[in-house]
Amino acid sequence: MYQKCSYGKSELNGSGDQINNRIHEIDLRSDTVSRPTDAMRDAMKNAIVGDDVYGEDPTVNQLEEKAAAMLGKESGLFVPSGTMANLIAIMVHCDKRGSELFCGDRSHTYLFEQGGASQIAGVLLSTLVNKSDGTFSLDELEKKIRLNPDVHEPFSNLCIFENTHNICGGRVIPLDWIDGLAEICKKNKIKLHMDGARMFNAAVAMKCDAKELVKHCDSACFCLSKSLSCPIGSILVGSKEFIQKARRMRKVLGGGMRQVGIIAAAGLVALDHMIDRLSEDHARAYAIAEAIHNLKSPLFTVDLKSVETNMFMIYMDPKIITAREFIHAMVTVSEEERNNDLNIIVKCCSRFPEWVRFTVYNQITDNDVKLVIKKVTFVIKQQFEQTLLK
């Protein structure tokens, strides 16, 4: 069942490590709440800038070239958000009216981009059932591709996959599956785009070069914000011709920014210093997941094999307890907790009643991990198990 996005909200204002002397608040809703590092703020202050719509911002140019080279593509384009990066890719690849694209039914493009593909680009979104590992059936895709469409049908022009897969719990998409997908797309003259909002998490988890992940893709994007900790920005990469067209689309969407080197400067710091450290986030996410798994709760489960990057899901039976109830307990400090000096609030988020997602990022420390484990242990063992398993 689908539900309105549910984010843990405490009664306290704001976020941050220590809200006051009594309550320790840890925000694991998403890596979108990550904050820029001091090195980023210094680079932003000192950035050399120009008018990027004229192509005259040296810092943006440097960032676009660096990102393209890192991903083995000819060109790159700096855009304000992942949503815009995906939409631009769709608009370029599906420039013929009456186009159709394929994506997973749990993909960000389908669930969380307001149907921009249809609303703005006029493209039909055809979904494929996402498996729990973030892939979808390649047979189903092949069956749905319209060969020589007649007058009744749209043109199948694009396929999008997500890596890491957010709503499947930060799953890393296997390279051999991407090989198979690319083969089908090539055979059927369909363009392939990777929504790699967190592609460097995937590369670090697989211990491979990010180039490997996108080598078959006509275009790909990643976010500098989120796990790389920048305040704003995404990069779209592809061939020179693709990026020339993408630059035009960015302008019509209002994404042409002027002295934006001030933000791109943070992106350069991210590409130099924030990628290798992602393994620390992965280890912290795993430590929390493992602790929950070791509770052996009959009510809550974590599939440790699926914990691959900086996020993971806790599953529950919504007939017994819903994600919303769990989230509420995590952001509430009960009297018993107060009396036991457990003044901890952990924000987490959900989209479906049967799971809650925890996400780790740069600002989450080892001490935070310890506190999260204390809190979640209390909520599961003392609160839910004691009342529901009587």
Give 49 or 220: the residue with its C-beta nearer to ligand PLP. Answer: 220
The CB-side HSE value for 42 (13 A sphere, CA atoms) comes to 5
* Cβ at position 23, least distance to ligand PLP in Å: 27
Ranked by CB distance to ligand PLP, the top (closest) residue is: 82
* Cβ at position 347, least distance to ligand PLP in Å: 16
Which candidate, 231, 212, 106, 238, places its Cα nearest to that of 167? 106
What is the rounded CA–CA span in Å between residue 262 and residue 222? 19
Give 10 or 310: the residue with its C-beta nearer to ligand PLP. Answer: 310
What is the rounded CA–CA span in Å between residue 382 and residue 80? 44
Which candidate, 70, 132, 122, places its Cα nearest to that of 101? 122
321's tokens: 């307890």
* Cβ at position 170, least distance to ligand PLP in Å: 10
Over the window 9 to 48, marking each residue x when it contacts ligand PLP by CB under 6 A and - when it does not, the resulting string is -----------------------x----------------
Looking at this protein, which amino acid is placed at residue 44? Answer: M
Residue of 64, 100, 195, 308 that binds ligand PLP (CB under 6 A): 195
Answer yes or no whether residue 108 interacts with ligand PLP by CB under 6 A. Answer: yes
Give 105 or 325: the residue with its C-beta nearer to ligand PLP. Answer: 105
* Cβ at position 378, least distance to ligand PLP in Å: 29
* Cβ at position 27, least distance to ligand PLP in Å: 15
Looking at this protein, which amino acid is placed at residue 153? Answer: E
Give 87 or 289: the residue with its C-beta nearer to ligand PLP. Answer: 87
What is the rounded CA–CA span in Å between residue 49 and residue 54? 12
The CB-side HSE value for 276 (13 A sphere, CA atoms) comes to 3
Which candidate, 36, 82, 58, 61, places its Cα nearest to that of 273? 36
What's phi and psi for 9, nearest 5 deg?
A: -125, 120
Answer yes or no whether residue 334 interacts with ligand PLP by CB under 6 A. Answer: no
Over the window 148 to 167, marking each residue x when it contacts ligand PLP by CB under 6 A and - when it does not, the resulting string is --------------x---x-
Give 162 or 308: the residue with its C-beta nearer to ligand PLP. Answer: 162
* Cβ at position 213, least distance to ligand PLP in Å: 14
- Which residues are CB-contacts of 169 (< 8 A; sequence separation ≥ 6)? 306, 307, 311, 312, 313, 355, 357
Q: What beta strand segments (E) does 196-325 contain?
A: 219-223, 234-238, 300-301, 311-316
Distance of CA 21 to the CA centre of its chain: 33
Over the window 201 to 240, marking each residue x when it contacts ligand PLP by CB under 6 A and - when it does not, the resulting string is ----------------------x-x--------x------
CA angle 231, 237, 242 (to 5 degrees): 130
* Cβ at position 223, least distance to ligand PLP in Å: 5
Looking at residues 67 to 86 of the shown chain, list those that interact with ligand PLP (rule: CB under 6 A).
81-83
What is the rounded CA–CA span in Å between residue 272 and residue 210? 14
Answer yes or no whether residue 266 interacts with ligand PLP by CB under 6 A. Answer: no
Query: Binding residues for ligand PLP, how many (CB under 6 A)?
Result: 12
Give 120 or 295: the residue with its C-beta nearer to ligand PLP. Answer: 120
Looking at residues 284 to 313 of the shown chain, list those that interact with ligand PLP (rule: CB under 6 A).
none
What is the rounded CA–CA span in Å between residue 276 and residue 273? 7
Decide: helix, strand or coil at residue 382. helix
* Cβ at position 151, least distance to ligand PLP in Å: 35
Give 81 or 239: the residue with its C-beta nearer to ligand PLP. Answer: 81
Give 29 or 191: the residue with its C-beta nearer to ligand PLP. Answer: 29
Q: Which residues contribute to the site for ligand PLP (CB under 6 A)?
A: 32, 81-83, 108, 162, 166, 195, 197, 223, 225, 234
